[in-house]
Each structure stands twice: as C-alpha cells, then as structure tokens.
Amino acid sequence: MRTFSIILLLVITQYLFAQEASRRGPNLVENPGFERLRSALPDYDIDGSVAFRNSLDKWMSPSKSTPDLYMEINSYGVEEPKSGKSMVGILTHNPISKRSDTYREYIQTRLNKRLKEGTKYYLEFWVKRADKARLASNNIGAAILSAPILNPDWEPLLNIEPMINVDKVINPAKPEWVKVSTEFVANANLQFLIIGNFYDNEGTTFKELDAVGEDDFNNAYYYVDDVLLCELDFEPEPEPIEEPPKEERLIDAKLEVGKVIRLNNIFFVTAKWDLLDESFAELSQLVALMHKYPEMKIAIHGHTDSRGGTRYNEVLSQNRAKSVYNYLLNHGITSDRISSSGFGEARPMATNDTPEGRQLNRRVEFVVLELEGAEVEAIDNNPPASSAEGDW
C-alpha cells in the first residue's frame, strides 16, 4: 500500500484539458517559465544540470537528482520551450542508472503564498517528451506539501501521493506539448509544489520507441514549462482608499497666547487684495472662532514672496491683511479685538527659489494676542518702509 503524504486535498482532476477558470487570482508560482536566473550560466555546463542547480531562481531539486535547465534552444539543437526562452528537463526513468533502479528527477518550488484551507485552486503545467528519448512513460504528476522535501540521496520520492498525475503514456507517437491541469480544494495550508514521477517501476508504464540516432538517450525524458497555480473564484481585496489628511477646522483650533495660525483658504485676485468668494467659508469660521472666545484678541498678518519690489510687497501684504480685518469688522467683531499689518517678503516660511516655496510664503495668518485675560507682547505692526517698486 502506498503511504499517503501530508497533503489533505479534495481534488477534482481532469486529464490534460481543465475547464478554463474564471476570476483567477495571480500566479502563486514564482519564475513559472524558468526564465529568471539568480546568477550567470556556467560556461562548462554541458547538459544544463549545473545551471539548474546554481543559476535558476526559485527552483531546486528536492533530492540529489539533477534536472536540467535549457535556455532558448536546448543543447540538443531543435526543440523549443512552450513559451519564452527557457524550459526544464527531467528524467521520469533511467533504466541504465547506477544510482538507483528507479532513478527519477523532480523540481520543487516554494509558492509565494500559503494556500488557504477550504479555498479552490487551479494547477496547470505543460510537458513534452524529448525528441531523442527512446522511452515514453506515464506518471508525470504534481504534489503540494506543507513543508519542503530535502532528500539527501538519489532515491525517488515514492512515499508522496500526487494530487494530479497523468496515467496515460505521454507522447508515445511524437513529441508535443501537453497540458496537465486540475482543480482542487486545499484542506491544509500548503506551500511547496513538486513535479515528477512519484511511482515505482512496477507502477509506471514505459513504451520503448524506435531509435532515431546514435546520440539518442536510453531513458524517459520530458520537458516541463509554464507552471501555473492560482486561486479560483478570486475576489481581489479592494485597494484601500487613501483619504486626504483631514484638515483641522478653524473653529476647532486649539488656542494659546502667542500661537500663529495660518488661514489656508484665503484667496485674492492676482496682484490685488480683493477677496475671492472661495475665502468666505474660512473667514466665517474665523468670525465664529472670535465669538467662541469673546475675550480673544488677534493680530492679522499678511506676507508675500520675494518677487517684486520690497515696498510693493509690503503694501500688498498690508492691504491683504486689511481686507481680512474689514471682513471681521463687517461681521460684528469690534475693532478693539483685531489689528492688521503686512510684512511683505521679510518673514518667509520657505525658500523663494521654487514655486512651492513661494506659495508657502504668500499667506495670511493671525497671532493670538490675548485669551481669557492672558496677553502677549504686541508685535511690530509697522515695519520700516522701502521705496522699491515692482510687480508681483
């Protein structure tokens, strides 16, 4: 009796052509076409076994056996991969092996995500008999395990029950790519995929083929390409919607004497001090804030960037601060609680060498001078004038 592996799967197996699945998730097999290398190909490698062991990314042999990596057209000259530029070759039986009378080769990879118990998946890979192989066989299958196989010798993996297996002899007449596929429901958290022949010689059917040339090889040898394992009925997780940072409402501002609060949504006609309608929402909050703190007194400050003459910028900033001052007066805030002044370009927040910096420097803000009886020293509201002129 065969010993079953730790795979616990409910399998719906279809030989060769599985129904095309809808809503497939991403391929959980990394480097599925054997295209990606982790190091350069060795110059001395004749059959590709050293390249598989030392150069191929994400794949390994679970035993001491020696699968082969073929890049573009393999070293025997005429056969091409199913797609891309690479494929892997494995022996499903080598009757002349001195290492084992059931010599087998396998390829193993770690899936980039553990399978979810109770979830339905689809597995597919393609196989093709080498044109020069004198034996054809059945029993190319796949197993998925929860832990990797690390067999230190040449012995075949006969104690693993494959979840899918090709029972018919593959390519007995002529070599051609054949799809092997299945759908299954994972009953365990599995992560390691192995492909090869998991049966002994008595359980494997071999068909001897007519010799084509003297350099034919007396074994059953198959290429593998384009391995796919994906979740079915896949529902991608919705991408999180990044909400813009919530801007603190002016009415909710935490106040203290001496705190400077920028009015972020105050807009003027270009190069003038006429308030645009878009400013009124923020200004109405400022009025509400003044009513919320009836003892509060503030100084309104206007600032510009460095473009234009110094005196021109001072006048522009003064007039813009005065426009906010007048808005508050017109909405019931008494003049003894507010003052206004402009500092032009004298107090930049950022560099004036970039558009972003200049935008930060063009601003209207207010300073809390008095709050619930506390006072702050008055700020100079009348900076020295300059005769320089210029456009802004």
pLDDT in tens, 368-386: 999 875 554 444 444 433 3
Q: With respect to residue 184, please indicate whether it lies within any of the assigned structural domains.
A: yes
Here the tokens at position 211 are 């010799």
| Whole-number pLDDT of residue 269 | 86
pLDDT for the residue numbered 77: 52
Please return the burial class of 45, using the count of CB atoms within 10 Å of its CB with bins 0-12, 13-18 and 19+. middle
Does the structure show a pLDDT above 90 at 158?
yes
**pLDDT surpasses 70 at 199:** yes
Q: What is the pLDDT of residues 267-319, one digit of tens each?
A: 988 888 999 888 999 999 999 999 999 999 999 999 999 998 999 999 999 99
In this predicted structure, the answer to whether residue 237 has a pLDDT above a threshold of 80 is no
pLDDT of 78 = 58
Tell me the HSE value of 350 on the side-chain side, using a 13 A CA sphere: 11
The answer on 103 and 145 residing in a single domain is: yes
- Residue 291's domain comprises 250-375
Is residue 53 located within the same domain as residue 117? yes
Average pLDDT over residues 13-27: 58
Indicate whether 3 belongs to any domain.
no
pLDDT of residue 8: 34
Indicate the residue type of 8.
Answer: L
Once rounded to an integer, what is the mean pLDDT over residues 221-238? Answer: 92
87 shares a domain with 169: yes
Least confident range from 4-8, 90-94, 152-156, 377-381: namely 4-8
What's the CATH code of the domain at 132?
2.60.120.260
Which residue in 118, 102, 271 sits closest to 197, CA to CA? 102
Using an 8 Å Cβ cutoff, are 169 and 138 in contact?
yes
- Say if 386 falls within a structural domain: no
* H or E stretch at 134: strand 133-137
- Domain shared by 164 and 102, yes or no: yes
Tokens read off for 195: 């492909």
Q: Is residue 30 domain-shared with residue 174, that is, in the same domain?
A: yes
Residue, of 354 and 22, whose pLDDT is higher: 354
Give residue 377's pLDDT. 45
User: What confidence tier does 212 reach under pLDDT thresholds 50, 70, 90?
Assistant: low
- In Å, the largest CA–CA distance within the chain is 109
The owner of tokens 């400013």 is: 279
Q: Does some domain include residue 392? A: no
For residue 7, which amino acid is it? I
Q: Kindly state whether residues 26 and 102 are assigned to the same domain.
A: yes
Q: Which of 231, 263, 278 is the last residue of a domain?
A: 231
Are 76 and 208 found together in one domain? yes
**Same structural domain, 277 and 197:** no
Q: Contact 304/361 with Cβ under 8 angstroms?
A: yes
pLDDT > 70: percent of the chain: 85
Say yes or no: 91 and 168 in one domain.
Answer: yes
Closest among 101, 87, 20, 324 to 224, alpha carbons compared = 87
Same-domain status, 191 and 88: yes
First to last CA, the chain: 91
Please report the sign of the dihedral spanned by the C-alpha atoms of residue 153, residue 154, residue 157, residue 159.
negative
217-231/133-137 β-pairing = parallel
Would you say residue 243 lies in a domain?
A: no
- Do residue 208 and residue 304 come from a single domain? no
The single-letter DSSP state of residue 55 is T
pLDDT for 373: 57
Confidence (pLDDT) at 187 = 87
Angle between helices 310-330 and 280-292 (to 10 degrees): 60
Contact 108, 86 (CB under 8 A): no
At 72-116, the pLDDT tens digits run 644 445 588 999 999 999 999 998 888 888 999 999 999 999 999
The pLDDT assigned to 254 comes to 86
Is 281 inside a domain boundary?
yes
Q: Which of 117, 120, 123 is CA-nearest to residue 235?
A: 120
Q: How many structural domains are present in the chain? A: 2
For 276, the token pair is 């645009």
What confidence score (pLDDT) does residue 247 get? Answer: 65
d(CA 250, CA 288): 9
User: Which domain CATH number covers 329?
Assistant: 3.30.1330.60
- pLDDT for 140 equals 97
Average pLDDT rounded to a whole number, residues 331-356: 94
Q: Check pLDDT > 90 for residue 10.
A: no
The answer to whether residues 142 and 257 belong to one domain is: no
For the cut 70, the answer to whether the pLDDT of residue 392 exceeds it is no
In this predicted structure, what is the pLDDT of residue 375?
52
154 in any annotated domain? yes
Predicted confidence band of residue 390 (pLDDT cuts 50, 70, 90):
very low
Q: What's the pLDDT score for residue 217? A: 78
Task: Give me the pLDDT at residue 251, please.
Answer: 80
Tell whether 68 is covered by a domain. Answer: yes
- Burial of residue 48 (CB within 10 Å: 0-12, 13-18, 19+) is buried
- What does pLDDT average to over the chain? 85
Question: What is the per-residue pLDDT for 14?
Answer: 41
**Six-digit token string for 189:** 């958290």
Which of 53-67, 141-155, 366-380 is least confident?
Answer: 366-380
- Whole-structure pTM value: 0.59
